[in-house]
């Protein structure tokens, strides 16, 4: 992964975060995600995915973002609409 900056993925035409996740985890359909699985989000449809969260339960995610160390957030429709992919850690 490249060094992090706010726009690190926008300058690229590929999906570096999703590519890295695919190398280390098993991609699953987002609708099949269970607690402990990882969700990848994109802020807008035309932008690469650049945020990850752990699914805590069907309605809650655990993630970190600017200004917060770790947050527990409801998986509201605004978050759900941004899910780009889901991953499960290998057995």
Any domain includes 5: no
Q: Does any domain span residue 10?
A: no
36 close to 28: Cβ distance less than 8 angstroms: no
pLDDT at 87 over 60: yes
CA 72 to chain CA centroid, Å, is 14
The model's pLDDT over 25-68, given as tens digits with 9 standing for 90+, comes to 999 999 999 999 999 999 888 889 989 999 999 999 999 977 77
pLDDT at 2: 52
- Residue 6 domain-assigned (yes or no): no
How many domains does the chain contain in total? 1
The answer on pLDDT for 18 being more than 60 is yes
- Its pTM stands at 0.85
Residue the block writes with tokens 């280390």: 24
Q: Say which residue, 1 or 59, is predicted with more confidence.
A: 59
Residue 33 lies in a domain: yes
- 7 belongs to a structural domain: no
We report the CATH number of the domain holding residue 59 as 3.90.1720.10
Q: What pLDDT score does 21 carry?
A: 97
């Amino acid at each position: 992964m490249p060094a992090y900056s706010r726009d690190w993925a926008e300058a690229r035409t590929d999906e570096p975060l999703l590519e890295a996740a695919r190398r280390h985890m098993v991609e699953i359909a987002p609708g099949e995600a269970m607690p402990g699985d990882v969700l990848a989000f994109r802020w807008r449809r035309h932008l690469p995915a650049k945020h990850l969260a752990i699914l805590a339960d069907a309605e809650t995610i655990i993630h970190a973002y600017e200004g917060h160390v770790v947050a527990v957030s409801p998986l509201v429709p605004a978050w759900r609409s941004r899910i780009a992919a889901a991953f499960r850690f290998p057995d």
